Amino acid sequence: MSDIKLKITDREGVSHEVDAPTDMNMNLMEVVRSYELAPEGTIGICGGMAMCASCQCYIQSDHQLPEKSDDEDAMLAEAFFVKDNSRLGCQIHITEDLDGLEVELAPEEG
Amino acid sequence: MIKTDILIIGAGPTGLFAVFEAGLLQLKCHLIDALPQPGGQCAEIYPKKPIYDIPGYPEVLAGELVDNLMEQIKPFQPGFTLGERAETIEKLENGSFVVTTNKGTKHQAPVIAIAGGLGSFEPRKPLLDNLSDYEDNGVAYMIKEPEIYRNKKVLIAGGGDSALDWSIFLADVAKEVTLVHRRNEFRGALDSVEKVQQLKNEGKINLITPAEVVGLHGEGKLEKVTVTNTDASEETDVTVDHFIPLFGLSPKLGTIADWGLEIEKNAIKVDNSLDYQTNIPGIYAIGDVNTYPGKLKLILCGFHEATLMCQSAYQRIHPDKKYVMKYTTVGGVTGFDGSKKEAPKAVVKAIN
């Protein structure tokens, strides 16, 4: 079994416990989309290229995440509602280390 | 009034390829796009990124794909209304449609193909309470006529290519240019970053980083903005005539959502068992903008949808004509410009 558990708080403040596979080359944005925790067309707009901030989320647990790439860092520098714990969901690969990760989706941009 | 056979809304890869398929059926096309250049997302968001799932291309850059499509459709002389957004639609008594853009350009066609992708690209606006009060009174999200900034005090916010390029350009035009960015690092072409550094050293650009615009002030028009330095948490007021936030673009479905089309999950529902027609006969939706059971937002699926849509559009425009699909290898490609491409004939020659 290679599923991990994630706790994702949607934009309405509702918390969801979901299972995410670690063997399907998925990222956090895709997990959110697969469970339809945010309406289609409001998340993952650029498809996962770190070129929009529609999958921005706040990391609430103290998991050790991979460093931000330059692309992600630059995108977050231009995004809105950014906090110190902001990350782009599309840049976070689902791995076994992330079991128990808690995140909250950032609000949709205007 | 611009008249055509198929009016295509959206000049991304799907819309462009529809011109080719329509052309094979001798149908003329005109395209409307909110962006100033054709290509949609491929040209605007990721022109330098590779795509690996275009059939027959092991790898192609998105920008190259657009260039190739433009080359492929050239013989069919499509018309373009660029930099304008399709705003309203009206059905005439003869069954044809009139689509009017935000700038008032009118287009008439018996068939409308919406190939709008995720929607039209609109500037991302910073979150400032009274921002809309100053729109057109000192705040603009795009630079249309640089001359209006001559001898004015301008503040640009943003860290990408357009913020850098316009700061460089306006340094020679405006009385004062201030560039504000949330980081010390800029994401742009190396040349532009170096040029801004040089202009800063010469005192021609006032650079404030890492900082953010947090307040706008002025009676009736913009007079002053408050900038917070995020490292020092210091607020400074900068006297300005213009504030230009350049935070890139994000797509919005916009007024097409009010055209009476069935919308589901931010996309237009179509009949995928037949021809990708919407609930309004004569209006089709192809590519990323549509949805149906099993929909995949892939360029290659958009190409297929465009092809079937054109066959249906042909039947609609010529209900009495009989038509059988012909392979381009057999029939060649005859352009509206008089050009003709065809497979070379086999040589028949006796060997004695």
Task: State whether residue B70 sits within 8 Å of chain A by CB.
Answer: no
Q: How many CB atoms neighbour CB B231 within 10 A?
A: 10
Please give, rounded to a whole number of angstroms, the shortest distance from the CA of A34 to a CA of chain B: 13
Residue from B128, B247, B252, B288 to probe the interface with A (highest A Cβ count within 10 Å):
B247
Helix axes B13-24, B299-317, angle to 10 degrees: 40
Chain A, nearest residue to B128 by Cα: A80
Please give, rounded to a whole number of angstroms, the shortest distance from the CA of B306 to a CA of chain A: 21
Residue B305's identity, in one-letter code, is E
Residue appearing with tokens 């009495």: B320
Residue appearing with tokens 């995410």: A20
Distance CA B251, CA A45 (A): 8
Tell me the chain A residues in contact with residue B126 when contact means C-beta distances shorter than 8 Å.
80
Q: Taking CB atoms and an 8 Å limit, are A77 and B185 in contact across chains?
A: yes
Residue A88's identity, in one-letter code, is L
Residue appearing with tokens 């956090």: A28
pTM: 0.84
Question: Among A49, A52, A74, whose Cβ lies nearest the Cβ of B187?
Answer: A74
pLDDT tens for chain B, 352 residues long, are: 999 999 999 999 999 999 999 999 999 999 999 999 999 999 988 898 999 999 999 999 999 999 999 999 999 999 999 999 999 999 999 999 999 999 999 999 999 999 999 888 888 899 899 999 999 899 999 888 899 999 999 999 999 888 999 999 999 999 999 999 998 888 888 899 999 999 999 999 999 999 999 999 999 999 999 999 988 888 999 999 999 999 888 888 888 999 999 998 889 999 999 999 999 999 999 999 999 999 999 999 999 999 999 999 999 999 999 888 889 999 999 999 999 999 888 888 888 8
> What does the H/E/C string look like for B120-162?
EEEECCCCCCCHHHHECCCECCCCCCHHHHCCCEEEEECCCHH
Which residues numbered 111-130 in B keep a CB inside 8 Å of some CB on A? 118, 124-127
Q: Taking CB atoms and an 8 Å limit, are A40 and B267 in contact across chains?
A: yes
Task: State whether residue B267 sits within 8 Å of chain A by CB.
Answer: yes
Per-residue pLDDT reduced to its tens digit, B155-205: 999 998 889 999 999 999 999 999 999 988 888 888 999 999 999 999 999
- Would you list the DSSP string of B327-340? -HHHH-EE-TTS-E
Q: Taking CB atoms and an 8 Å limit, are A45 and B124 in contact across chains?
A: no
Which of the four pLDDT bands, split at 50, 70 and 90, describes residue A46? confident
Distance CA B262, CA B244 (A): 37
Please give, rounded to a whole number of angstroms, the shortest distance from the CA of A54 to a CA of chain B: 10
Please give, rounded to a whole number of angstroms, the shortest distance from the CA of B158 to a CA of chain A: 7
Is the alpha carbon torsion for B193, B198, B201, B205 positive or negative?
A: negative
